[in-house]
Structure 1
Amino acid sequence: MKKESFKTWCFRLFMNWYPMYMGTGGKILRISGDWQEVKVRLRRSLWTYNYVGTIFGGSYFSASDPFYMLMLLHNLGKGFVVWDKSAGIRFKKPGKTTLYADFVITSAILAEIQQQILISGEIDYSFVVHWKDKTGKVYAEIERTVYIANKQHYLKKQAARQLSAHENSNS
């Protein structure tokens, strides 16, 4: 994994103590200085333990929540709007051990996203992340779809939607 910067180190410390993320049971182990790689750990603990003694499915899901959106915001910059749009989870086996997830956005993916936005102004892009044990066995697969748009395109689209809603309410 690429080296962590002082800024990403500070952000990681803040997020690991942020109550909304801490409650997921996840722990951010590393954020690369270029925001293209994030490594997260999820342990079976008092916070993540379910009725049958395995890691609660919601912990897999919530501990993986913010990363692709944050990574894209940092890599694309202020001229873009990024929102989590949807997500789905497929469980492969019950989690009874410490699990890890690696979030990666390559330069090629960033170029592909930017190219699509140049063409259409917006894109829905899906990422897949796997929760694995230290040997690489997959316990769950999460697909996260992120909406990304050029900020000007997004604002025009939002204004058109509001105008349409206003016209419909006056009819």
Structure 2
Amino acid sequence: MPDTAACKRRLAELGHTQAAMRWTGFPDMLARRGAPVPQYKGTRVKAWRNLMIAGINAALCQRLVGYGPEDNWWGDCDDPAGQFSFEFPGGIPALGLLSDAGFGELRVSVLLDPKTDVRMTDTGSGFRDGSAFASGWLERNLGVWLQTGGRPMMECRQHLLKPLADTPIAPRGFGDRGRFMM
């Protein structure tokens, strides 16, 4: 979702203070067009969201992917299979795995606290390889957002669910929720 508060601040900076005060924001605009705005309810779904956002942010920062539908650059990097390392907030080691899902979609998988010498797969590494695993899709054709809907693909040790869900992570230039497209 675009950031309503940031957009209102920018409108005010540009001298459109009356318009900024009257505008109800992006979620309201989408709801009026009939597009449901999914919300993150529950600890498990929030933990999945945070793992996904951290993995996507890391891939963007490492310039493995971009915001465009064809911006897949991991083949030019150290691991042409798309596996990369990063740190989850709090210094927890993590691995990410990228794969092109076609039609501008990017499949992203994240393994938290991996055991040594792990080779991730799209279908999941699970508890044998780390403490938490999440997988999902980033839409990049009709916009750029984390696709939400249904039950998220995630395995997580019970004691990590709440800390993962409570970790504040902001997406870097993409929506953290949006329509699931298949």
Q: Bin the TM-score by the shorter chain.
A: under 0.3
Structure having the larger proportion of residues in helix: 1
TM-score by length of 1: 0.27
TM-score by length of 2: 0.26
Structure having the larger proportion of residues in strand: 1
Structure 1 or 2, whichever has the larger Rg, is 1
